[in-house]
Amino acid sequence: MALSENVNNDAIGALTQLADPPRDTQVPPAVVGGLPESKVRRVTAYIENNLHRELRLKEFAAVTHMSPYHFARLFKLATGTSPHRFLVRRRIDAAIALLTESTSSISSIARAVGFRTASHFATTVRRITGMTPSAYRARRAVAEPPVETPPIVAADADETIATPSK
């Protein structure tokens, strides 16, 4: 009787393995079935070149020749974030660069990176960075004081510059 139980258990185990083959758990789900890297680059370039204006999911889908739903699903699989979040994050990254590098007003920076109002811009920057745009700019100014370069002194035309003799 023990022999027949072993045979039955072995048969059940073999059938279970056939019905449920082992899965490769090493491949991250974002890679499997996501948007091809070339299309992600194409959409990213499109976003970078058009940050200043209102962008719609339909435009991104048209760049990749897909339906909006299919594009959004594959984009999220490939990048780990939705197209809208990706766009907002790129806008905030561009705005932070402008806040640290220019003296433009906050409202002009907001418009330059595609926000309609300075209020919405400030709210979004605060949600993502934890501080308002003006506080971010002030903090960066204190953290990175301007580099002072020594004044350049030009020699007069009448003066001769002594060179060491050999």
Residue 1 lies in a domain: no
Distance CA 49, CA 26 (A): 36
Please tell me whether residues 65 and 34 are part of one structural domain.
yes
Range of the domain at 48: 28-80
Please tell me whether residues 96 and 75 are part of one structural domain.
no
Please tell me whether residues 69 and 90 are part of one structural domain.
no
How is 94-152 classified by DSSP, letter by letter? HHHHHHHH----HHHHHHHTT-S-HHHHHHHHHHHHSS-HHHHHHHHHHHSPPPPPPPP
pLDDT tens-digit series, residues 152-161: 544 444 544 4
pLDDT tens-digit series, residues 16-74: 454 444 444 333 344 456 889 999 999 999 999 999 999 999 999 999 999 999 999 99
Q: Which two tokens stand for residue 123?
A: 């709210």
Please tell me whether residues 75 and 96 are part of one structural domain.
no
10 Å CB burial of residue 129 (0-12, 13-18, 19+) is middle
Please tell me whether residues 54 and 67 are part of one structural domain.
yes
